[in-house]
Every structure is written in structure tokens, then in C-alpha cells.
Structure 1
């Protein structure tokens, strides 16, 4: 009988072990970190070491202290206290990063070992490091007044209405004046904010502008361009214009699998229209059928074409489940010649395909 005792015990252990494991996972961690990932943003190499602080709180009756910290590379330096903290007390761990050690995006791992059993936590320090170029004019070819930029236009990329998009833009001060953060002025609409990152940018130095684009405040959808005048009030004639481009989208949370058939669903019968050869002197008209194949009302938020030569007419902006409508498209090709493509973007409340594209192709004679 004894021979069977061990296998039975082992089998019981296998059954209950996952349950015990799940119970342990649901318990409150011994140490809670305020955040375990910090983004330093864009860093210029000449800015030197950048520092971030991670804050933690002891949730146990036992005294806690940090025994050791493992760093991924020599590009980071850690400072922390080995003093013990009691229940409910907080401590800080300071990490400094050397931007000369990286080019482009970086993510550095920091592993924390504490004195309490099971306390091994991972932290991450992230950002984008920009090395100093060997040829300034080649790296920053676009000249505007006293500043030089990498590109003529600043692409904010995809901007959703659930959170603002932030972008850092480099510039080189080729002028003779000190650029003071306190004197910086930007004449912006309510959905855009622009600020100078460094307190001062001296002549022949690089600086950063932080641009914040709030899609919710803009309250629109599609492609947009904005010209933003900025200047320094203490420097006469310092005004320049930042040209921003952005694609604005509505954010939809993930749809549970069980609800996939319940949401609005936009179906487009023909997503590519080939007009073949057409005359530049003749208007071309086509229609496309839109159908709501979902079980909730479909709302057409916006329809946007990529050319003023395209006229788009929709008889309504709401479709009941199963309902359809004809979208009217009129192309005026006057003044155009050769291969041509027009894009029509349809924005709707279909959470699975909120933006759909219709392409109209032609060869204009």
C-alpha cells in the first residue's frame, strides 16, 4: 500500500497546484510601483544624462529594503537607499541614462531585488536618443529664419480622439540670438499646443519643440493641415510657420467576440471603380451602394475625398439595419492628364472597420 501513497499524493498535488498558483497571483504584491515604465521622450545627445524616478510603496507588515539592482548596460546609473521602509511608506529609485550610448528608440531594463521573498520587479526606461550630426546643414536642410529643420512639414501621424498625440521636433539655432523658453510664443488653435522644451537654446545649438495635438478638441475626422506661427517675443522678426499634417480618427474599444454580430457593419459593394480612358472635358458620374449589414444603426460620420475635383453626395447619414443607399460620385477631370487616382474615405461608427476606402482610377486623355 505504501507504494501507491506517493503517486496519489503527487496526483493530488498536480490537481491543486494550479489553484494555489492562481490564488497566489491574485494576492496584493508586496511592493507596488507607481509606474513601472517611464518614457523620457526625445533626447538630444548634447543634453547629457537624463534622470527619471520610480516610486514604490511597501504593502507588507514586514520591513522592506532594496537589496540589489541589475542594470542592462553601463549606459544607466542607479541611485537608491538601502534604508528599510515600513508598511505604507514609500521610497524612490533614481535612474540616469546616457543618451550618447544609443541612437533612435531605446528601452532599458532595470531589475529590482528586495529583501522580502518573491520581490523581483522589472522596470523600463524608454525614449528616443538623437545623436549630434557631423553635418548640420545636411541633417537639417530646411531653413526658416534663424532655425533649421529636418523636414518641411511635421507629420503628427494618426491622432485618435481618446488621447492627445505628442511629438518632439528637433531644430538647429543658426541665428545669433539666445532662444529663451519664457519668450516663446505660439499662435495656435485650441486643439494644438507648442512649447520649447529646453529653458535656453544658444546660437549654434539644437533644441526641441513639443507639439501636442488633441483630436477630441478638434472634433473632426480625416486629413488636415495646419500652419502654426511661432516666435520669440524678445527677438524682432523671429516668426516662423510650422506646417503640421495629421490624420484624425475616432477611437473604438475592442469588440468582444460575442458582440461581433451586434454592432453596425458598413458594407461597400464596389471599393474600386475603374473608369478606364476618359476625356478631360467630360464629367464622369458613378454610384456606389452602401449597406448596413449589422444589427445596430450605422452612422456615416464623414465622407472625404482627396481632391476638389471630386463631388460626393450622400442622401442620408444614418442607415437602419439592412438598409442601403446610393453614394453619388462626380469627377471633373478638367486640367488633368495621364493616370489619375482619386480616393474617397468613409468614416462611420462601424467599430471593426471605422474607415473604409473607395478608389476611383482613370486614364485622362
Structure 2
């Protein structure tokens, strides 16, 4: 009986080992996609279907062809290379999106299945679809010359120093003269560029402008409001625009082994409540800034959200283990009621490059 059990065990082990060896020897065919997600940006309904193109390369020895492509929405249609590919050959898959299918942000999934085992890849398209405005006057309330904007200012949001931030803005032409793309002239700082995306903006129709904000070229950190001007050759006068941005330093990901080596800014305390104060009494407080990392810490900028704040530090570079005091002076003159001041500290701490300190009070 014992001998029989040993024989069965040996047989099962050999079968398992044989299957494991075969599995290890099997090479799973794969496609290499140039990109697996395409951002179509802002799409106006009247622009019609927009096309995202995906290119792939077949890398295995076996012959390959696409069997089926499935999408998660009837708003998309797909065309793709139907040829059989050998190793090294490339193919194209085009996804057309109809912006009239819905309004707002969209993210659509496309599943590609090939004839070879385990070839089932997922692609994505995304963007922002904007339907036609039934009431242009009420929708584009901010008038700048003949152009109507939804908002008074253009907010590009967070801008990191590693790549320019793009913001697309829709405009409506209330005038009688078309705005042509090739006649646009931009005047403003070089770190901001504005161009017209649509070839023309006809009277009583919409178009798209694109604002590109280069944080590295700006060479500063924090919140900013810049003024730019646009003019078209056949139109009269300049159109002045305000561009808002929050600029942050970009830090590349790093390994856990480097976690204890990088600079580390610690703020103590991170909040001070002044309680009830008189609006005639200037307040002075100190906040301790410490570098608990193992590399020098650089305080790149300290920015408050009010001219009522004066912020002073004795130095901007802290050695490992070193501490300094940030002197905060708050003048509550002209203020009343519950008040909160935000103080942002920018440093080369890659885990927390921007930290917030709060100064609260109730002003009488």
C-alpha cells in the first residue's frame, strides 16, 4: 500500500512538473502599442466625429491578425488593419467618437482581441464634449470685443515644471466678421502661448482657443495671474485675457531605498489659532521649520494669500537636522469676523514639495 501511494505521488509530481515546464516554455504573443490612451481634448458638437489613432507592432514569430474589437459605447466606431501580420510589422486602429452622444467629460474603453492566445488589449479615449448652446447670450456672458467667453478669467489649474499645461477654451463669435486661425497675433509673456485650434470662428458660431502654460519657463512657483492680449488681422482692437495658474515643481518617482535620503521639511505647528484679536493689533508668530532628511533642504518660496502677511526667514538652505524659525507678521487692519490666512511653503522635499500653514483668527 505504501509502495502504491509512493508510485501515485511520483506520477502526479511528474505530470505537474511536465505542465509547469510547458507553461514556462510558452511565450505569450503580445502587441506593442505606441500609446494605449488618447486624449481628444475639448470637442464641440458641431465639429462632428473625432478620430483617435492607435499604432501597434506585432513582436512574436506567429502570424497575427485582429479578430474582434469591442467598445463600451455606441458613440464610437472602429476601423483597423485587417491584414495578417508577421513579426515586426505594424498596424493601425482608428476610433471615431461622436460628440453629439453626450455632454461633459467622457472616457471610452476599446477591447482588442487577436487570433493568438492571451492577446486581448484595452485602449482608452477621453476628452470633454460640449453640446451646442441653445442660449449663446446667457452661456457666454463675458464679452471681450466680439468674442464671448463662459468665464471672466482662464484658469489652467495646476501646472508642473516637467511639461507644459494645455487648456482649451470655447468662444462664441457675436460679431459679423470671421476670426481666422492664420490671422491671430498673440502678445504676452513667452511662457504662455495662445493659438486658435479651429480654422475659423464664423459669425454666430463657436470656436476653440488653446492656452499653453510652460511652468519651467516661468521659473517661479505658486499662484499667478498673467495678462495676455489677442488680436486678429481683420478685427479691431485687442482682446485682453487673464490667465490663472498654480505652478508646482515636478519630482520624478524614486525608490523606497532613497526615501530616507531625501530632504524632509517638517513644520511645527502647522496651524496657529490667534483666537479673538483687535483689527488694530498687529500679530507676530514664529513657526519652526526643520529638515529631518539626510540631504540639504532648500526653501524655494514662501507665499501667503494676502498682502496683510509679512513672511521672513533667516536663510533658505537647511542642512540635515537643522531648524530655523519662520516669522509671520499679520496685520488685521480693515478685516472683521472669522479670518483664515493660508501660507504655502515650497521646498525641494520630493514627498511634500508644497506644504500649507494656517493662521486663524476672529477679528473684532
Tell me the TM-score normalised to structure 1 length.
0.91
Shift of 1:10: 5.3
1:57-111 superposed Cα distances (whole Å, 9 cap, x missing partner): 2333444333332232221122234233343332222221111112212222222
In structure 2, the residue matched to 1:76 is 76
In structure 1, the residue matched to 2:123 is 123
In structure 2, the residue matched to 1:267 is 266
Q: Please give the secondary structure, in 1, of the residue aligned with 2:14.
A: helix
1:320-342 superposed Cα distances (whole Å, 9 cap, x missing partner): 11111111111222233332222
Tell me the TM-score normalised to structure 2 length.
0.91
**Separation in structure 1 between the aligned mates of residue 23 and residue 13 of structure 2, nearest angstrom:** 18
Which one of 18, 24, 31 corresponds to residue 20 of structure 1?
24
Shift of 1:13: 6.2
Instruction: State how 1:10-49 maps to structure 2 within 5 Å.
Output: 12=17, 16=20, 20=24, 24=27, 29-49=29-49
Structure 2 unaligned residues grouped into runs of 5+: none
Distance 1:261 1:131, change over 3 A: same
1:150-184 superposed Cα distances (whole Å, 9 cap, x missing partner): 11122111111111111111111111111100111
**Separation in structure 2 between the aligned mates of residue 164 and residue 341 of structure 1, nearest angstrom:** 32
Residues 169 and 208, structure 1, Cα contact 8 Å, conserved in 2: yes
Instruction: State how 1:159-308 maps to structure 2 within 5 Å.
Output: 159-237=159-237, 239-308=238-307
Q: Please give the secondary structure, in 1, of the residue aligned with 2:182.
A: helix
1:3-40 superposed Cα distances (whole Å, 9 cap, x missing partner): 334432355468x479829x846xxx543222222111
**Separation in structure 2 between the aligned mates of residue 62 and residue 262 of structure 1, nearest angstrom:** 48
Instruction: State how 1:323-334 maps to structure 2 within 5 Å.
Output: 323-334=322-333
Confirm whether residue 139 of structure 1 aligns to residue 143 of structure 2: no
**Separation in structure 1 between the aligned mates of residue 22 and residue 240 of structure 2, nearest angstrom:** 62
Confirm whether residue 149 of structure 1 aligns to residue 149 of structure 2: yes
In structure 1, the residue matched to 2:351 is 352
**Separation in structure 2 between the aligned mates of residue 140 and residue 42 of structure 1, nearest angstrom:** 16
Q: Please give the secondary structure, in 2, of the residue aligned with 1:177.
A: coil
**Separation in structure 2 between the aligned mates of residue 235 and residue 345 of structure 1, nearest angstrom:** 43
Please tell me the root mean square deviation across aligned C-alpha atoms, in Å. Answer: 2.2
Distance 1:258 1:95, change over 3 A: same
Confirm whether residue 3 of structure 1 aligns to residue 19 of structure 2: no
Structure 1 unaligned residues grouped into runs of 5+: none
Distance 1:10 1:140, change over 3 A: farther
Residues 184 and 195, structure 1, Cα contact 8 Å, conserved in 2: yes
Q: Please give the secondary structure, in 2, of the residue aligned with 1:88.
A: coil
Distance 1:316 1:9, change over 3 A: same
Q: Please give the secondary structure, in 1, of the residue aligned with 2:83.
A: coil
Q: Please give the secondary structure, in 2, of the residue aligned with 1:321.
A: coil
Residues 255 and 351, structure 1, Cα contact 8 Å, conserved in 2: no
**Separation in structure 1 between the aligned mates of residue 118 and residue 268 of structure 2, nearest angstrom:** 58
